[in-house]
Amino acid sequence: MIDVQSSPDTRNIPLTKVGVKGLEYPIRVLDRANRVQHTSCTADLFADLPHHFKGTHMSRFVEIFHRYREDLSMPRFLAMLGEISGELEAESAYGEIAFPYFLEKKAPVSGLPGMMSYRCRYQGRVKRGERRFTVSVSVPVTTVCPCSRAISDRGAHNQRGVVTVELELGPFFWIEDMVDLVEKSASSPVYSMLKREDEKYITETAYDNPKFVEDLVRDVYIKIEALKSFPRFSVEAENYESIHNHSAYALACFTGDKNHE
């Protein structure tokens, strides 16, 4: 049949990105405890389009992604983008997937298990031998306000927040380790399953470990920098304030040369 997409275009305008966006798909990723984990993702897959091509072959993005869906480990993600680039005769290819990553987590006192979901994202680009890949992990936490605790005769306000760590891939790492690092930097982790004895423990533990959003970001930053594993990274935190009609926010970036942006 006629290949309309490969027909010439005379407008002389190259396109930076063409492809598919919002593709929902089941995938498998690596899991430290169980080897692999079945989850689902939303994927954006793009390639550049030279000026002389009328269009790209959209079906090939899905065809290639389907072949890789059973093993979307971090190194395999870049291999997939390389195949997209070669198959479509493009100089560059881009990809992003967002997915929930599930971990079984036991309550701190009762020990009862529950499942926690952590939002993760892989984002990659290949271009003329250049390969860039980042992983982000969003971790829900609890923080207690140091100011509220210092000025109040009874109690202190606390809130749930989310810390998002984005890492440019150096050595391989487990998502579980990054979740643990972030949770240990907060006033307390959060859980899906809690009995009364667990709630008492968490409330008292968090009260004894107050953190501003600024403290949270700086403490996570220091721990990641100490690993000396990532050429670039960022730490972002948003606290959904319990006594304000707005969030508290902080961000720190490591660019590889000790500059904080």
User: CA–CA separation, 29 vs 74, rounded Å?
Assistant: 9
Torsion angles phi and psi, residue 127, rounded to 5: -160, 115
pLDDT for the residue numbered 3: 55
Q: Which fold would CATH assign to domain 107-261?
A: Urate Oxidase (3.10.270)
Domain locations along the chain: 1-97, 107-261
pLDDT of residue 56: 75
CA atoms of 159 and 182, how far apart (whole Å): 16
Give the span between the Cα atoms of 109 and 201, in whole angstroms: 7
Q: Checking phi first, is residue 191 left (phi over 0); if not, alpha (psi -120 to 50) or beta?
A: beta
CA pair distance 34, 63, nearest whole angstrom: 28
Q: State the burial class of residue 74 (Cβ atoms within 10 Å of its Cβ: 0-12, 13-18, 19+).
A: middle
Distance, C-alpha 220 to centroid of its chain? 15
Shared fold status for 1-97 and 107-261: yes
Which pLDDT tens digits describe the chain residue by residue (261 residues)? 655 556 566 677 888 899 999 999 999 999 999 999 999 999 999 999 876 677 677 899 999 999 999 998 877 899 999 999 999 889 999 999 999 999 999 999 999 999 999 999 999 999 987 889 999 999 999 999 999 999 999 989 999 999 999 999 888 899 999 999 999 999 999 999 999 999 999 999 999 999 999 999 999 999 999 999 999 999 999 999 999 999 999 999 999 765 445
Question: Residue 170's pLDDT is what?
Answer: 82
Fold topology of 1-97: Urate Oxidase (3.10.270)
The residues, any chain, with a CB within 8 Å of residue 244's CB and separated by 6 or more, are none
What 3-state DSSP class applies to 211? coil
Report the DSSP beta bridge partners of residue 159: 143
- What is the rounded distance in angstroms from the CA atom of residue 44 to the CA atom of residue 46? 7
Q: So what's the pLDDT on residue 158?
A: 93
pLDDT given at position 229: 93
